[in-house]
Each structure stands twice: as C-alpha cells, then as structure tokens.
A and B are shown apart, each in its own frame.
Chain A
Amino acid sequence: MDLKWSEAIDGLGPSLLQGVVVVLQATIISFILAALVGLLIAMCRLSKWKVIRGVFVVFVEIIRGTPLLVQLFYIYYVVPLLLNHLLASGGTQPNIQFTALSAGIAGMTINYGAYISEVFRSAILSIDTGQKESGLALGFTQLQVLRKIVIPQALRNSIPVLGNYLVMMIKDTSLLAVISVSELLLRTQTYASQTFQTIESYTILAVVYLILSLPLAHIMKMIEKKFHVEN
C-alpha cells in the first residue's frame, strides 16, 4: 500500500485549520448559549406555575426523544419554510433562510440546552433545604436564596458533567456536515473524494479531533478540581 502522508497533510492541513476555527466557533457559542438556555429551562421546570412546568417538560422530552441530526435538518430546512409560510401576507413572500452555521449553532444550543437543563435541575434540587432555610432565616428573600446560595452551588456541582458535554459537543460538530457547515468532516470528505487518499485523510481527521478533545478534557478536570468544594 502506497500512502501519501505528507501530500495529504499538505493538501488537507490548511483546510482543516480553517475547519478547526469553525468547530471552535460553533462549540464555544453553542456551549455558552446552551448553558444559558439550560439554566432558563431548569428554572422554568422548577416554577410554581404548573403550565410553565408542563410546557418545558414536553419540550425537553421532545428534544431528548429525537436525534440531534434530525433536529439539525429540521431547523435548517423546515423552520425557514414554516416561517416563510406563516409570515406570508398580502402577496409579499418573505424569504427567510438561515446560514448553515447559525442553524447548526441553534440546533446544538437547543439540543444541549435540554440536556443541560436536566443537569442543572437535579443540581438545584440536590441543595439541602437546610441551607435554603438558613438563608431565609437570615432575612434573604426566596429569590436571593436562589441567586446567592442555591444557583452558585448548583453550577459548581454541575461542572464535571458540563465538562463532559463540552467535549461531546466538539465531537458532535461533525454532525453539522450534513447541513453543509464546512467543518472538519465535510472538508475531509471533499478532499478524500477528490484525491482518493481515503486512509490518510480520515486518519488525519481523527487525529485532529483527538488533539482538540484530549487537552480540553484535561483542562476540564483541572477546572473541576479548582471549583470542587467539600460539603
């Protein structure tokens, strides 16, 4: 077998570097948004209003019960159609479209937001009532207890799981290839099919993912250690 490693590295490398930028962009933005969405959903699911709780139970179940891949297709292809249809009025036909990247970020945000909401929810529920009561007894309002005592601890306790999700997210950006985001997989596919350097290309791709995710996993462990508080 005649493998052209250096040719593949030279040919695919620069494109993959650009792909890395896309991947990091998609991951970082989606992760931050997903954490915010997750916190918001968690709060809604702990709301005293039944209707709000119900709406978000259904929402989370829908998201968790369908594949991210399908959600990406749905956001990229179906949602614009629906919007255009809904907004069409009196002869004017709007032409809403999402860029592939923004659809991808939206999909990952919603998908991961649903999962992260469960993490936050159980972390919030696991804070000892005694702590909330001692906060109340000091004269804090319910909202202050939530903001100053419950949520900071819940967030800390969620760090290990969030770290795992961040690493999973980096890898899941490969799914964005199906809606034509030029991330790593799509670039590799294109290169491999043009040059037939299939083995080299996909091996390089795998290595790039490893280079991205291994240090990240390590960093997350360190952050975890730093924020770990014994009870």
Chain B
Amino acid sequence: MSETKQSMLTITKLSKYYGKNHVLKKVNLNVKKGEVVCIIGPSGSGKSTFLRCINLLERPSSGSIFYQDNDVLDGKWKTNEYRQHVGMVFQGYYLFPFKKVIDNITMAPRTLKNKNKAEAEVEALELLKKVGLADKDDVYPASLSGGQKQRVAIARALAMHPELLLFDEPTSALDPELVGEVLRVMKGLAEEGMTMVVVTHEMGFAREVANRVIFMEGGYIVEEGAPEEIFGNPKNERTREFLARVL
C-alpha cells in the first residue's frame, strides 16, 4: 500500500552549532504533503532548534533544506517569502497585544498579500469560527485565556494560507483544562490534510494524530516510525527509557 505523495520538505544532514555547542547533528527529515509528523524528546534535545531551523528563525550551520523543489538555503528565494508558505505556532502564542483579535489575524494578509480590509476580515471571521472563537473578533488578546490565545495564534497563521504548519509545544504553557481545545483544533487541521510538524509533550495527541513520530535526543533523531511502532514497540533503548518516564 505504498502511495507516493508529493514531498513537502526534505531536510538533509542538518547541523546547528551555538558556538561550540553542537545542538543538531546531521538530522534528516522528509515530510510529505498532508503528513503530520510529531517530534518528541527530552528537554534540551534540540527539538525547538530543529523546528526553528525549518523556517530559518535559526540559520543552520550546515546541511540542506528543500521546500517542495526549492533550495531554501541557496539565497535565491527570499527568506521572508519562503516563510509566507510555512506557518509557525509558538508555545508562548505571541499575539500582538496592541491589536484586536481580528487585526492580529488580518495584519499579515493585508500587508503581505495585499488583501483589502473587508476581504481579509471576512476570511478572518471564518478562521475564528473554525477555531471556535467566532465572538472574539473585537477584543484585545489580554482578555483571552491561554487556550483562546493559542487558537487565535493558529487562526493568525492560517490566514496566510500556509502549506506547512510548524508547532512548537503549542499546549505546554496552558492550564491542563485548556489543552484539549487547542489539540482539537490541531486535530481538525490534520484531518483537513494540513501538513504539520509538531513538537509536543502530548503523547496522546502524537499517538492519535501523527502519521509519524520522531524521537530526538542529544541533537540526533534516535528513532522514527509510525506511532504504533514508537509507542507500542520502540526499538531503541533510549526511546524506551524516555517513554517509560513520560507515559
């Protein structure tokens, strides 16, 4: 049952040094269109750094990143234009506090895609509905709960129509009772076929939603495979130890 899907992201031998600290060690990753890849691993293993290298918030020290068929590191494609195709959702939401929810969402498409205000707002309202916040368009982020902020952050990223979405521990800053509402939105996106790379500590989410789970430690990808394999029958000793600790 091998269907060949179009490749979205191909990362080869990606390394990252912070000074002498070797944080990513020749990491390879291939993400196909519509795939959901979850990255798990202990603190400090390089998960965030890896994710941030993908959209070039961090500059890789060596290796290559191909987005569809474009070499993102060869300098021909402007970084800001590349990033318009790759959305990112952060642990800390980082909404723009001086703008109302609706303006948080419309700001990028209006500026970067020359959408007019009315058009952008119609779409923003649809996105808000999609993340379950249809009535929150006219408030400032400060009045929202963490879970609501994170859902607005997802809507804000979606407003640019990214083909790939990166999530860096989107629920780690949330009170436990708010985690579910964010995960549900993410699951909905996955079901719609959004390509996603998700760094997470939510093993339940990874098991249920991921097509592939990657276990990182010490800057290496130690093991990767289908969630049933990783959670049900991990081959690597390190993976087993990690899962024993977190599950």
Q: A133-B90, A152-B98, A229-B98 are in contact. Are A140 and B140 (CB under 8 A)?
A: no
Number of A-B residue pairs, CB cutoff 8 Å, is 67
Q: Which chain B residues (119-165) contact chain A, with CB distance < 8 Å? A: 140, 142, 153, 156-157, 160
Is the CB of B55 closer than 8 A to any CB of chain A?
Answer: yes
Q: Which residues of A contact B108 (CB under 8 A)?
A: 138-140
Interface string of A118-146 (1 = CB under 8 A from B): 00000000001011011111111100100
B94 interface residue (CB < 8 Å to A): yes
Which segment, of B81-89, B220-228, B230-238, faces chain A?
Answer: B81-89
Asked if A133 and B94 make an inter-chain contact with CB atoms under 8 angstroms apart, the answer reads yes
User: Could you tell me the distance between the alpha carbons of A137 and B96 in the complex, rounded to whole angstroms?
Assistant: 13
Q: Whole-angstrom distance between the alpha carbons of A144 and B92 in the complex?
A: 21
Chain B, range 18-68, C-beta contacts under 8 Å to A: 55, 57
Interface status of B204 (Cβ within 8 A of chain A): no
Chain B residue, CB-CB nearest to A142: B80
Contact assessment for A137 and B87 in the assembled complex, using a CB-CB cutoff below 8 Å = yes
Task: Kindly list chain B residues whose C-beta atoms are within 8 Å of the C-beta of A136.
Answer: 57, 80, 83
Q: Which residues of B contact A230 (CB under 8 A)?
A: 97, 140, 142
Interface size range on A against B:
20 to 34
Residues in A with CB closer than 8 Å to B87 are 137-138
Counting CB contacts under 8 A, is A148 at the interface?
A: yes
Interface presence of B198 (CB below 8 A):
no
* B107 contacts the other chain (CB 8 A): yes
Query: Inside 8 A of A141's CB, which chain B residues have their CB?
Result: 80
A66 at the interface (CB under 8 A from B): no
Contact B153 A231 (CB under 8 A): no
Docked-complex contact B98 and A148, CB < 8 angstroms: no
- Please give the residue numbers on chain A whose beta carbons come within 8 Å of chain B beta carbons, in ascending order: 128, 130-131, 133-141, 144, 148-149, 152-153, 156, 229-231
